[in-house]
Amino acid sequence: MLTVAVVGGAGYIGGELIRLVLGHPDLELAAVTSRRLAGRRLDGTHPNLRGTTDLSFVAPDQLGRYDVLLLATGHTETMHSMPDLLGRADVVIDLSADFRLADPAQYRRYYQVEHPHPELLDSFVPGLPELHRKRLVEADRISVPGCMATAAILALQPLADAGLVAGLVTVDARTGSSGSGATPSPANLHAERSGAMRVFAPSGHRHQAEISQSIGGRPVSMTATGVEAVRGVQVVCRVPVVEGVDERTLRLRYREFYRDERFVRVVTTRTGLYRLPEPKILTGTNYCDVGFAVDEQHQQVLAIAALDNLVKGGAGNAVQCLNIRFGLPEHAGLDFIGLHPV
């Protein structure tokens, strides 16, 4: 059994990390930190855990040494604590944004901060198994991408790598309310958020930088909208394509690209309600569903992906990386099939 500590376990991503570690056959949940909740039981904050653990939160300074640290602390906060944390485990997997971008200038632009440890940026491997599995096998520092970035990258990479992209890629991302976290604010009041179609980032969303970085620096313009759902991200990427791209080409391309991937399902059914990727049926799972449609009239492809923002868009992806790093079955602890309806 590998010992795992979750740093920053009070929020929604932290709760999912705890849930997945508790249900994992090869992991032992050794500690969960929360400054605010130190001394209180985990299942007081995460009531789904009742009956599965008697652990309580500990203060960050009570952290010992573990095989793995899973970091769910806040953006622009984790960058400061990283040097200390790196010494506390063989492997550190960070779910914050703080080590996702290779270029420190991007942190100035997208996060309005000067990164205090630019020298560490290069040492993190992107925590996206479908693209970086080989490096993850030996990675001691892993940085898991953002939820909307993960979906967009998995939708776009097969096109980008094949040289099919012919112009500005636009990404229309929709997200459920859990993406805003567990801290109450007017924006996530039920009465305000219910039934919302809220364009909270008309352009320049932070995940735009991650997507662009992954597809070779190509320009990306991203819009993010909050819609009614608790979990789930869907991206609709509009891609101008080179001549000759048709449905058959794409079908082959996507199938080949994700042939051996258990957690990416290429959805190519022609009928039915769920013929394009939709996050609803992915709730709680580690799947990312990917699909596409061709707009022949305008020589465009719509590449669509969906995932559960807290699982494949966060905690599940982190556990998948952990499995790879330690030679465990890649799907260990990630077997949940998903519900219909839900």
**Residues of span 182-211 touching a copy of itself by CB under 8 A:** 182, 184-199, 202-204
E runs forming strands in 109-162: 125-126, 141-143
Which residue in 70, 225, 224 sits closest to 144, CA to CA?
Answer: 70
Q: Identify the residue among 304, 307, 322, 324 touching a copy of itself (CB under 8 A).
A: 304
- Sign of the dihedral through C-alpha 20, 22, 27, 29: positive
The span from the CA of 72 to the CA of 77, in Å, is 10
Q: State in angstroms the smallest separation of the CB of 26 from a copy of itself.
A: 15
7 forms beta bridges with: 33, 71
241 forms beta bridges with: 165
Q: Of 96 and 300, which CB lies nearer to a copy of itself in the complex structure? A: 300
Does residue 108 touch a copy of itself according to CB under 8 A?
A: no
The span from the CA of 196 to the CA of 199, in Å, is 9
Decide if 147 is catalytic. yes
Taking residues 247 to 266 in sequence order and writing x for each that binds a copy of itself by CB under 8 A, - otherwise, the string is: ---------------x--x-
Contacts to a copy of itself from residues 274-293, by CB under 8 A: 274, 276, 278-285, 287, 289, 293
Q: State in angstroms the smallest separation of the CB of 322 from a copy of itself.
A: 18
The span from the CA of 254 to the CA of 292, in Å, is 9
The span from the CA of 218 to the CA of 153, in Å, is 12
Q: Identify the residue among 64, 83, 102, 269 touching a copy of itself (CB under 8 A).
A: 269
Q: Identify the residue among 72, 128, 147, 229 touching a copy of itself (CB under 8 A).
A: 229
Does residue 230 touch a copy of itself according to CB under 8 A?
A: yes
Among 147, 237, 288, 321, which one carries the catalytic annotation? 147
The span from the CA of 7 to the CA of 31, in Å, is 8
Q: Of 100 and 280, which CB lies nearer to a copy of itself in the complex structure? A: 280
Q: State in angstroms the smallest separation of the CB of 335 from a copy of itself.
A: 7
Q: State in angstroms the smallest separation of the CB of 45 from a copy of itself.
A: 8
DSSP assignment of 42-76 equals HHHH-GGGTTT---B-B-GGG---EEEEEE-PPTT
Contacts to a copy of itself from residues 146-175, by CB under 8 A: 168, 170, 172, 174
Q: State in angstroms the smallest separation of the CB of 195 from a copy of itself.
A: 4
**Token pair 């048709």: residue:** 246
Structure tokens at 302: 């719509």
Contacts to a copy of itself from residues 6-25, by CB under 8 A: 12, 15-16, 19, 22-23
Which residue in 232, 208, 76, 221 sits closest to 149, CA to CA?
Answer: 208
244: left (phi over 0), alpha (psi -120 to 50) or beta: left
Does residue 236 touch a copy of itself according to CB under 8 A?
A: yes
The span from the CA of 109 to the CA of 336, in Å, is 38
Q: State in angstroms the smallest separation of the CB of 120 from a copy of itself.
A: 28
Q: Of 85 and 156, which CB lies nearer to a copy of itself in the complex structure? A: 156
Q: Of 80 and 262, which CB lies nearer to a copy of itself in the complex structure? A: 262
DSSP one-letter code for 146: P
Contacts to a copy of itself from residues 40-69, by CB under 8 A: 44-52
Q: Identify the residue among 228, 246, 247, 256 touching a copy of itself (CB under 8 A).
A: 228
List, by residue number, the catalytic residues: 147
